[in-house]
Structure 1
């Protein structure tokens, strides 16, 4: 089962859904996509009316969260064996979460709420790292809080957020005042671009700054609650103050080095969450000591804006296909011949205080890279990015990545 929604649906996801005739919720976005396919002479989507789709979703739900297990009887919150597994639902956008929550089982709605709200997630996972510091604040409380009350360095972010919107690293009083000023100025724009279920400017999280390497992981928990990793991307920054989504990359070395360790961590996480047939895009940090801490869990989807298609460009398989078909990637065979290469996902975000752009030279941008796998253009007049770029780069020739990571991209813009 698939729900398509704004802001973007990739041609790759459409082709997959149409070819398999996966049940797709009949909403405005899906109808528009299916009409486009028909006009191209291609197979259309298997659109399912809202009431029947909702019934399918609820009918496939069992005791998937296992929250009724009794700890007093010596049981944990791991998935309940023998209970009916929930239906496999994939959403390409968090804009769909409000509809899902309204029409799904109470257990699934509760799981979505707990994962989408970072403060609630922190509380659920506290047993994995009891000393981790965080503090939840309303907008008014955050704006009134003096710098002296903080444990700097720290990170400020919306408790319910998306795409690094409203994320600020706080190292000193100047950072704190700048962050609060920026939030006051940007809150109206966020509200116009995303529903409150995706970005909530009234609920904030102040938390410990996690030192270490950052990763983005597309993972699902199967019908038995076991973690299945569909991709691991290293999220690289230009410095401590950089919180952008510009550069992610995966490689055979990254998968080999982190797969078993991250699977073990996700299984320990799910012993507390009790999820089954549940996909998530998870951002986390790994300290050199091996300490792993989550940044955020994004429920019922993989990497946003359909950028999870990096698994198709890099490894040759659909990450959402693995989940919907209940398949575990055969990494030993998939990674053969991929050694020494970086497969990148770049969010071509606009700089802060970007002037009005009349045009953007995508061709000139593409020429900066030895091998472009896919270039997706975006309506930059409506959203805060020019598009997405996927490349293949030899590990020993990564200068092109370092260069684009530092660029504000205005060199390719006609102002």
Structure 2
């Protein structure tokens, strides 16, 4: 089962859904996509009316989408498996919560609200510091009350919106001023279920390497990793989503370790047939701490298609079909190459843009796998770029991660 929604649906996801005739919720976005495919002479989507889709969502679910594993280990006593639902956008979470069972709604809430997730996972790292604040409380909090360095972020957030690293009083005042100025724009772009500007999380700054993982928990609650991406920054103050990359060495080095950690996580959460996009940090000591869990989807804006461009399989296909990547064979011949996902975000205080030279941007890279243009007048990014970059030429990545992209803009 698939739900398509704003802000973006990729051609790759549409082709997969159409080829398998996967049940797709009949909403405005799905109808528009299906009609466009038919006009192009391609197979349309298997659109399912809202009432029937909701019944399917509830009907196969049983009472243990999120279960107490102490009482019901694994798929206990033949309990009905939850249906596999994949959403490409968090804009769909409000609809899902309204029409699904209480058990699934609770499972979503466990992950979507970062403060609640921190509390549930506290047994994994009891000393981890965080504090939940309302908007007014946060704005009134003096710098002297903070434990620095720390990170301020919406308890319910998306795409690094409203995320600020705080090291000194100047950072703290700048963050609060930026939030006051940007809150109205966030509210216009995303529903409150995706970004909530009234609920904030202040937490310990996690030192270490950052990773983004597309993972699902199968019918027995076991973790299946569909991709691992390293998230790189220009420095400690950078919180952007500009550069992610995967490689054979990253998968080899981190797969078993991360699977083990996710299984420990799910011993506390008890999720089954549940996909998530997870951002985490790994300290050199081996300590792993979550940044955020994003429920019922993999990497946002359909950028999870990097698994298709890099490894040749659909990450959402693994989840919906209940399969596990055969990493041993998939990674053969892939050594020495970095497979990247770049979010072409607009710079802060971007001047009015009359055009963007995508061709000039693409020419800066050894091999472009996919370039997706975006309506930058509506959203805060020019698009997404996927490349295959030899490790010996990674200077092309170092350049782009430092660029504000205005060199490609027509101003």
Q: What TM-score, normalized to structure 2? A: 0.98
- For 1:78 and 1:380, locate their aligned partners in 2 and report how far apart those are by CA, in whole Å: 45
Aligned counterpart, 1:53 = 53
Change in 2 beyond 3 A, CA 1:393/1:269: same
- CA deviation vs aligned residue, 1:49-96 (integer Å, no higher than 9, x gap): 0000000000111233xxxxx999964876645211100000000000
Tell me by how many angstroms 1:338 deviates: 0.2
- For 1:257 and 1:81, locate their aligned partners in 2 and report how far apart those are by CA, in whole Å: 36
Contact 1:283–1:297 (CA under 8 A) maintained in structure 2: yes
- For 1:368 and 1:360, locate their aligned partners in 2 and report how far apart those are by CA, in whole Å: 15
Aligned counterpart, 2:408 = 412
Q: Does 1:112 align with 2:108?
A: yes
Change in 2 beyond 3 A, CA 1:74/1:296: closer
Contact 2:362–2:368 (CA under 8 A) maintained in structure 1: yes
The CA RMSD measured in Å over matched residues stands at 1.5
Tell me by how many angstroms 1:411 deviates: 0.2
Contact 2:68–2:270 (CA under 8 A) maintained in structure 1: no
- For 2:271 and 2:40, locate their aligned partners in 1 and report how far apart those are by CA, in whole Å: 39
- CA deviation vs aligned residue, 1:132-153 (integer Å, no higher than 9, x gap): 0000000000000000000000
Secondary structure in structure 2 of the residue aligned to 1:131 = coil
- For 2:20 and 2:332, locate their aligned partners in 1 and report how far apart those are by CA, in whole Å: 27
- CA deviation vs aligned residue, 1:6-43 (integer Å, no higher than 9, x gap): 00000000000000000000000000000100010000
- For 1:365 and 1:17, locate their aligned partners in 2 and report how far apart those are by CA, in whole Å: 31
Contact 1:76–1:272 (CA under 8 A) maintained in structure 2: no
- For 1:335 and 1:313, locate their aligned partners in 2 and report how far apart those are by CA, in whole Å: 13
Unaligned regions of 5+ residues in structure 2, if any? Answer: none
- For 1:308 and 1:193, locate their aligned partners in 2 and report how far apart those are by CA, in whole Å: 21
* Structure 1 stretches of 4+ moved >3 Å: 70-81
Contact 2:278–2:291 (CA under 8 A) maintained in structure 1: yes
- For 1:391 and 1:255, locate their aligned partners in 2 and report how far apart those are by CA, in whole Å: 18
Change in 2 beyond 3 A, CA 1:72/1:372: closer
- For 1:73 and 1:237, locate their aligned partners in 2 and report how far apart those are by CA, in whole Å: 38
The equivalences for 1:255-404 within 5 A come to: 255-404=251-400
- CA deviation vs aligned residue, 1:256-312 (integer Å, no higher than 9, x gap): 000000000000000000000000000000000000000000000000000000000
Contact 1:251–1:341 (CA under 8 A) maintained in structure 2: yes
Secondary structure in structure 1 of the residue aligned to 2:76 = coil
- For 2:76 and 2:122, locate their aligned partners in 1 and report how far apart those are by CA, in whole Å: 22
Unaligned regions of 5+ residues in structure 1, if any? Answer: 65-69
- For 2:407 and 2:70, locate their aligned partners in 1 and report how far apart those are by CA, in whole Å: 62
